[in-house]
Amino acid sequence: MYDIIIVGAGPAGMTAAVYAKRAGKSVLVLEASGYGGQIIKAAEIRNYPTEKNISGVEFATKLYEQAEALGAEFRFEKVIGIEDKGSEKLVTTVADTYTAGAVIVATGSDSRKLGIADEDKLVGRGVSYCATCDGSFFRGKNVAVAGGGSTAVDDALYLSQLAEKVYLIYRTPKLSEEGAKEKLAEHENIVLMPECGITSLNADKKLESITVKHKDGTEENLDVSGLFVAVGRVPENQNFAKLIDLNEKGYAVSGENCHTATPGIFVAGDNRVKELRQLVTAAADGAVAATEAVKYLRTL
């Protein structure tokens, strides 16, 4: 039996492992694939304290090595369920069942994709799912944002401060956010493209242009260096829905203390309801969740 089992080896989960081990607890980290989560897709990280420029892979590897050196155990097995037995939690994977006093669910979320050919290939080479993470790489260039929700609007506004021109491309006749069109109109370098869809990404080694199909069926090539996809995210919480309250979008409902509806089960990172999903906030969640889990174990 472990003191704490952590589900997910992204920045939140691995930070939780570091904090839990430093508190003297036995820790098992379970991860479906490789360590690092979404951050390994980042070619460069320039907004994390103390790191002027580091790749996502390098950052994840350093954090993994830190947690492992402290004694955290890692097993790469997909978790398919958690059972609450009061003072014990049973965590079942595709390979085995493990027991712990507390569980931290740090499974993260994945960006919803457009489903266009070469989209995955061009991540880090022009295609991004995080304007605040990667926008600065496109300073003075033409970019596009795909999406008609509040995140897409916020991304377009943010990028308008950096890019030469920002195309906001969305399939609906209107933007979903009330007053968004008026806000966007204040920025002359934002071009609205309603009732349009992106049909292809055109690249050699990096993205060079995108093809957009208009409502009338005509197509247009837009010369852009960057495409920011903002069509929503998919949190990885469905296997734990019986124990964790989820909102209408599937995110875990939790306060800043990372508690869930089930005592002894905590949530950390991009799979919970929060205002800002960044590397630094994922690490902060991991620290908080581990600290709260240690407090909980004292009550058993």
138-193 pLDDT per residue, tens = 999 999 999 999 889 999 999 999 999 999 999 999 999 889 999 999 999 999 99
Average pLDDT over residues 118-147: 94
pLDDT of residue 267: 98
Residue 224 near residue 206, CB atoms below 8 Å: no
32-85 pLDDT per residue, tens = 989 998 888 776 788 899 989 998 889 999 999 999 999 999 999 999 999 999
CB within 8 Å of 123: residues ≥ 6 apart: 41, 129
Domain chopping of the chain, boundaries: 2-111+233-297, 127-229
Tokens of 175: 């933007």
Examine the pLDDT at 128 and tell me if it is beyond 80.
yes
Average pLDDT over residues 116-137: 92
pLDDT of residue 285: 98
Matching fold, domains 2-111+233-297 and 127-229:
yes
232-268 pLDDT per residue, tens = 888 989 899 999 999 998 999 999 999 999 999 999 9
pLDDT of residue 279: 94
CA separation, residue 295 to residues 20, 169, 206, 232, 267 (Å) = 11, 48, 49, 35, 15
**Helix 11-22 / helix 56-69 crossing angle, nearest 10 deg:** 20
pLDDT of residue 110: 82
d(CA 81, CA 241): 9
- CATH assignment, 2-111+233-297: 3.50.50.60
pLDDT of residue 46: 86
Residue 272 near residue 91, CB atoms below 8 Å: no
d(CA 275, CA 4): 27
213-239 pLDDT per residue, tens = 999 999 999 999 999 999 988 898 989
Catalytic residues: 130, 133-134
pLDDT of residue 77: 96
pLDDT of residue 148: 96
Q: What's domain 127-229's superfamily in CATH?
A: FAD/NAD(P)-binding domain (3.50.50.60)
pLDDT of residue 117: 96
pLDDT of residue 212: 98
Residue 158 near residue 166, CB atoms below 8 Å: no
